[in-house]
Structure formats: C-alpha cells, structure tokens
Structure 1
Amino acid sequence: MNQLRDSLLDAPIIEKEGYHYFVHPISDGVPMLEPELLREIVIKIIRKAALEDVDKIVTPAAMGIHISTATSLMTDIPLVVVRKRQYGLEGEVALSQVTGYSENEMFVNDVDSGDRVLLLDDVLSTGGTLRGITGALEEIGAEIVDVVAVIKKEGGGNELDDSPYDVKTLINVDVVDQEVVITDPHGDG
C-alpha cells in the first residue's frame, strides 16, 4: 500500500492568491497525520537520502519539523529547526524565505562551519524556502550533503534548478482541474 500516494490523491485543493495549493497532513497538518503515513515517509527518506557522515538534519519551521523529528529519532542524527523567530544567539544567521504564497525572514542557529547537513523539507514548489536555507548554510560554511523534500509540486518554477543541489523527492504531483495528479510516483533522485 502507498499511503503517501493515496493521501495526496484525496487531498482537497484551495486557491490562495492565484496559487493552487493542496491541503495535506504533511504540508499542513490537516487533516490529521496518521502514524502509518509518517512512518512510510520516514522509511522512504532514510532509503533515499545520503545519510552517511551527516552531522545534523536541518529543517524549516513549521511543517518540516514532524518529518525531521521522526527521521532524527530513526537515525540518531540531531535536528536543527530554522525558525521564523530571531533569538539573537551567537552565530545566528538570517535568511529570506520567498515562496509562491508568502515571504518571511528566517533564522539559523546551531549550524557551524564544517557541519555536514541533510536539508529536509515537506514540499518543494517554488524552491524559495530551500534556496534561502541553502544560501544561509553556504554562508555559515556547512556542507550540504543532501537535500530531500517529501513532495514536489510541479509547475512552481523551482529556484534550485540553477543551483548545485539536486533535490530528491519521494513523490511528484501537479494540480490539474482542482485535483492532485501524480506525475512521478517515485519522485526525483
């Protein structure tokens, strides 16, 4: 059974400022996230991601947290959450997050030069969030070992296309006529 695929096919679609957005437990926390779905996703992440010698998992708040926490628990790799709140701690690095539907300032703490990191997120759509975080991690001097997003939404004009990072995804989808369509059931990478 493929719970990720099935749950996406059942996902409702909303429109926000001209952007067609699917509502899903992984990307929105709504509807309720079943443990079986989370477990399936984490197993797929562990199989797909380059985890050897990774020092830290880095994820953006808020919707990357549950995926990354579960992955951290399964791999014993510490977790760093990129927050939308500034704490003013030593070494904190600010970045700009621009997506298809929002713009925020985010802050990275607890990543040091030389750290080998896995960047993990829920959805790759425009690539704006991951572009901002990869830039901040590069500025810090961290080595980005791998970048994984659970779901890729096609047609977002991915800002990482011209970067050195090939984002691995678990499943690729598009929204056509108010429905989620699976464009690649195995994702990229």
Structure 2
Amino acid sequence: MDKLARSLREAPIIEKGDYHYFVHPISDGVPMLEPSLLREIVIKIIRKANLEEVDKIVTPAAMGIHISTAVSLMTDIPLVVIRKRQYGLEGEVSLAQVTGYSESEMYMNDVAEGDRVLVLDDVLSTGGTLRGITQALEEVGADVADIVAVIKKVGGDNAMADYDVKTLINVDVVDGRVVIVDEHGDG
C-alpha cells in the first residue's frame, strides 16, 4: 500500500452539517505533511498529467499551493495561485467558489488568452472550486490542458461537465472512516 492510501485510511473524520469531512495533510495541513508523502504525490501528478506545452500551473489557495509548488519546482512550469484576497491589479479576474460547506469569492491574475494551463487541486468533492476556476479560465481565453486533483471524494456532485478531472485516489467516507474506492484514481 502506498503512503497516500495509508494516510487516508488513518484520517480522522469531522462533520460540517451533513458533510463528512476527512482531515488530511494534503487537504488541511493537519497532521503534518511528511516529505515522503508529498514526493509520492508529486511524482504521481507528473506521471498522470498532460504537461505537454503547459505554460502555467493554476491552483487555488490555500491547500493547492504546497502540491503545486512542488510540481512547479520539478517541472519548471510557473505557478499562478488563485487567492481569496482582491488586490485590484490589472487583469485581475473574479470567480465564485461554491463548495459543500462554504461560498466565497476568489481572484486570479497572470493568466492570459492562449495560455495553456494545468489546474491542480487537493480534493475534488463538490466540484465547486474547479468549476469556478475553469469558468474563469474560459472567460480569459486560456486553454485548460489538464486538471488533476489529488483526492476525489466520491458520492458528491463532483462531475465537471466539460472536463475530465484526473485523480490520484478516490475515497468515500463510510461509517466515520475513509474507504479507498479506487487506489489509482481517475484518468
């Protein structure tokens, strides 16, 4: 069993309303993220993602940053962080993030028409964050080369209408525990 699967099986579960949320170093920064787990994940992303002629990696703050930074360092592809703070800089694009447990506004800079981007995220659950990102990328005329989420929580409304999202592992929460549905993910 790889480190990612093992770490997910050991993840504690909390409830936010009707939403069962697993607490994991990749998605929450708790417990601490071991370098060997991050390294395993980055290698899997690089092997799975379509990186051909990708100009930029795009990721949402905050929990996509550590993963995307490591991928950027390994591939020399520049990183764009979509953040929750508005700066009002030229070319800033606003987008809505609607998840199973929150709604917020996010902001993107430095992506232009014709840019070929790889979108990276920590977890695909409701699809709200990735839908907001892909809509904003479409608005500026960027080409989404690929989308990779490390973990997919099955059972949610996580289908992306116009995009196939590759995942490294698919899980569900059953009886207060994380259950591995597909150890190799999608794509």
TM-score (norm 1): 0.98
Unaligned runs of 5+ in 2: none
Partner of 2:17: 17
CA deviation vs aligned residue, 1:133-164 (integer Å, no higher than 9, x gap)? 0000000000000000000001111251xx22
Aligned positions of 1:164-175 closer than 5 A: 164-175=162-173
Partner of 2:131: 131
Is the 1:128–1:159 Cα contact (8 Å) retained in structure 2? no
For 1:169, the aligned partner's letter is T
Could you tell me how far apart the structure 2 residues matched to 1:159 and 1:102 are?
18
CA deviation vs aligned residue, 1:18-61 (integer Å, no higher than 9, x gap)? 20000000000000000000000000000000001000000000
For 1:186, the aligned partner's letter is H
For 1:63, the aligned partner's letter is M
Matched, 1:93 2:87: no
Question: How many residues matched?
Answer: 187
Matched, 1:177 2:171: no
TM-superposed deviation, 1:9: 0.3
Aligned positions of 1:23-172 closer than 5 A: 23-160=23-160, 163-172=161-170
CA deviation vs aligned residue, 1:121-144 (integer Å, no higher than 9, x gap)? 000000000000000000000000
Q: What SS is found at the alignment partner of 1:63?
A: coil
Is the 1:131–1:159 Cα contact (8 Å) retained in structure 2? no
Cα RMSD after superposing both structures: 0.6
Could you tell me how far apart the structure 2 residues matched to 1:103 and 1:151 are?
21
For 1:179, the aligned partner's letter is R
Could you tell me how far apart the structure 2 residues matched to 1:25 and 1:41 are?
12
How many percent identity over aligned positions? Answer: 80
4+ residue runs over 6 A deviation: none
TM-superposed deviation, 1:17: 1.5
